[in-house]
Amino acid sequence: MTEWNTDLIRRYDGKGPRYTSYPPALAFHEEITAQDYEQAVAEGNAARRPLSLYAHIPFCQSVCYYCACNRIVTANRQRGADYLEDLLAEMALRARDIDGQRPVTQMHWGGGTPTFLDDAQLTKLMYRTARHFRLLEDDRGDYGIELDPRTVDRARISLLRGLGFNRASLGVQDLDPRVQRAVNRVQPVELIARTLDALREFEFCSVSVDLIYGLPWQSEASLARTVEQLVALNPDRVSLYNYAHLPARFKVQRQIEEAALPAPSEKLRMLARAGTLFEQAGYQLIGMDHFARPHDAMARAQAQGQLHRNFQGYSLHGDADLIGMGVSAISQIGRLYAQNQKQIDPWREAVEDGLLPLERGFVLGREDEIRRDVIMTLLCDMQLDLARISQRWSIDAEDCFADEIAALAPMIQDGLLWRDGDVLRLSDQGRLLARAVAMVFDQYSGHGPTQSRFSRII
């Protein structure tokens, strides 16, 4: 059981990347070209790596005041229909150069709200995906979709299961009615329960739920009630995210009454109480802000050293090339990161001209690849075997990272990790503060002007 030491958390609660990539996305630049992308795809074809597909559907019918996502709020369904046609055109462009025999081991539709699209549109998108890529049958693929419980019912969940989805992620955020009204996302616990019941009825393999702490009118006691209600509904995974109030960057957050936000000390108590309740209910702390039931594939993958991270967070398919489609979507193909245009008009114009809608990205050098391996291993395995890194990259890791290992001394003294021969192992406290440990090995985001643009670690 983790000791949720608020003093220790406060000491290391600086700002830092979430490490869905390394280098972090703030290091991306605009010199990435279509030739860079095509070369990366060719290398993936030659290596016969599997594929992970991501489709971004940015639309929401109403706005949540805490939101910092790339989304478009509209009630005009025609916008979704028009966007779908451009998304399908981009998909055809992407598929053109990819070996059709490469299996799609993972797929995820995110947003926004993918279920902004109607049943016929969802069916069309899946049908075209299957035409262009080799989807797996019989639930052998890890195919997930983000759901707004207010946009689905039993019939729609049945349709999604029939289309091949076997994993779902629900945005719950909080179950307290006052908090829900304050962030403009009203969804009674009964609605969440019905959605989870339907997902189980149609045998979704895993259901994940997102919570946010630090929202207006939340308190340690109110969040504890939400956690207790949620535990009773028994989702397979839970993500407990920190709300970052940045109204200067995200205008919609100006709708939130700042006086209603909990104080930093209250937020720490909320985190500690919620984390304790989840662990007491049998959830395992995977790392950072993720919990999972022991039977869940995420917990099993971590125990077997097979957990990975990419732009969808923790993943079971780190060996796959991620192909991102839609406005702002990011691809990760071998040594290449490539992000699409973040604004819908230039994205659409590029696609309609038959061009890849690339805006920025990054090609990793050898040093970047080694550090990516180190950081992702720490965040996924919660340990780092220096001998294994040395063998994998034909280096002397002890010598190459001598400065970083020395910089870990205060963290070792504080009990975040310890050294066992060639292996650095994170403690339970270290799991929670793993981002702080990983930043020691980061050449891009540990300091400098970009650091202020990151969220707090806790």
Domains located in the chain, CATH noted: 1-23+365-458 (1.10.10.920), 28-321 (3.80.30.20)
Q: What DSSP assignment string belongs to 242-282?
A: EP---TTT-GGGGGS-GGGSPPHHHHHHHHHHHHHHHHHTT
* pLDDT value for 452: 56
Return d(Cα 284, Cα 293) in angstroms, integer: 6
Return d(Cα 376, Cα 392) in angstroms, integer: 14
pLDDT average, residue stretch 392-399: 97
* pLDDT value for 9: 84
Look-up: residue for tokens 């071998």?
A: 334
* pLDDT value for 41: 98
Residue 275: both structure tokens together? 């984390």
Residue 87: both structure tokens together? 């998304």
Which residues are paired to 338 by β-bridges? 331, 361
| Radius of gyration (C-alpha) of the chain in whole angstroms | 22
| Distance separating the N- and C-terminal Cα atoms of the chain | 19
Return d(Cα 381, Cα 378) in angstroms, integer: 6
Name the range with the highest mean pLDDT among 106-115, 125-134, 306-315, 317-326.
125-134
* pLDDT value for 98: 98
Instruction: Convert the pLDDT of each residue in 55-99 to its tens digit.
Output: 999 999 888 999 888 788 888 889 999 999 999 999 999 999 999
Average pLDDT, the chain: 93
Of the candidates 144, 128, 34, the residue with the CA atom closest to the CA atom of residue 84:
128
Helical H segments across 133-187, by residue range: 154-163, 177-182
Q: Give the CA dihedral 39, 41, 46, 51, nearest 10 degrees.
A: 160
Q: What percent of the chain stands above pLDDT 90?
A: 80
Q: What are phi and psi of 110, to 5 degrees?
A: -130, -175
Is the CB of residue 430 less than 8 Å from the CB of residue 437?
Answer: yes
Helix (H) or strand (E) segment spanning residue 330: strand 330-333
3-state class (DSSP) for residue 146: strand
Residue 146: both structure tokens together? 């983000």
Is the CB of residue 39 less than 8 Å from the CB of residue 338?
Answer: no
Is the CB of residue 144 less than 8 Å from the CB of residue 210?
Answer: no
Residue 381: both structure tokens together? 């395995």
* pLDDT value for 212: 96
DSSP state of 456: B
pLDDT average, residue stretch 375-404: 96
- Residue 188 preceded by cis peptide, ω within 30: no
* pLDDT value for 195: 97
Helix (H) or strand (E) segment spanning residue 379: helix 366-381
Instruction: Find all residues with CB under 8 Å of 449, minimum gap 6, and list them.
Output: none
Q: Give the CA dihedral 385, 386, 390, 391, nearest 10 degrees.
A: -30
Instruction: Convert the pLDDT of each residue in 163-191 to its tens digit.
Output: 999 999 999 999 999 999 999 999 999 99
CB atoms near residue 333 (< 10 Å): 24
Work out the pLDDT band at 449, boundaries 50, 70, 90.
Answer: very low
Q: Can you say whether residue 310 is alpha, beta or left, with left for phi > 0 and alpha for psi between -120 and 50 degrees?
A: beta
pTM recorded for the entire structure: 0.93
Instruction: Convert the pLDDT of each residue in 259-295 to its tens digit.
Output: 999 998 999 999 999 999 999 999 999 988 899 999 9
Instruction: Convert the pLDDT of each residue in 35-59 to its tens digit.
Output: 999 999 999 999 999 999 999 999 9
